[in-house]
Amino acid sequence: MKQQFIKITSYALSLLVLFSTVSFTVEKHFCGEFLMDVSFLGDADDCGMDMEKVATTKKKGCCKDEVHQIEGQDELQQFSFEDFDLEKQQFVVAFVHSYQALFLEKSTKKDFYKDFSPPDIPKDYQALFQVYII
């Protein structure tokens, strides 16, 4: 259980680092007020209207392209051991100790005696004291 939890956590953290550093572009092509195409990986396809002919007649074109660029993190924060003072060291030691205590397996030793014979009683105490369980 502990190993599975560690694997899941490490995969989740690696995906978090990967997606925080990736940047991508979303391109949208509108013809009038209608969305004609969306592209996440390349250029958005146009709607088929020839914009050069419209531009030569000095009419305003009805098509427009929107580009949304989502930039990821370029620089990751580098850790310096010089900033790791005594208070932080004490916190890490206490945290690791308490975290490891969560996963300790408590095992109790169970002694079962299969071939255990009862003790040898020299006298029959029930007959001696005349106590009979009915």
Percentage of the chain beyond pLDDT 90 is 17
pTM of the model: 0.39
Both tokens of 6, joined, read 């560690």
| Distance, CA of 96 to CA of 59 (rounded, Å) | 70
Please report the pLDDT score of residue 91 as a whole number. Answer: 93
Residue given tokens 């592209």 in the structure block? 39
Q: What is the pLDDT of residues 39-95, one digit of tens each?
A: 887 777 777 776 555 445 455 678 888 888 888 777 777 777 777 889 989 999 999
Ordered by start, the domain boundaries in the chain are 26-66
Please report the pLDDT score of residue 51 as a whole number. Answer: 55
Q: How many CA within 13 A on the CB side of residue 88?
A: 6
Please report the pLDDT score of residue 90 as a whole number. Answer: 93
| Distance, CA of 6 to CA of 29 (rounded, Å) | 44
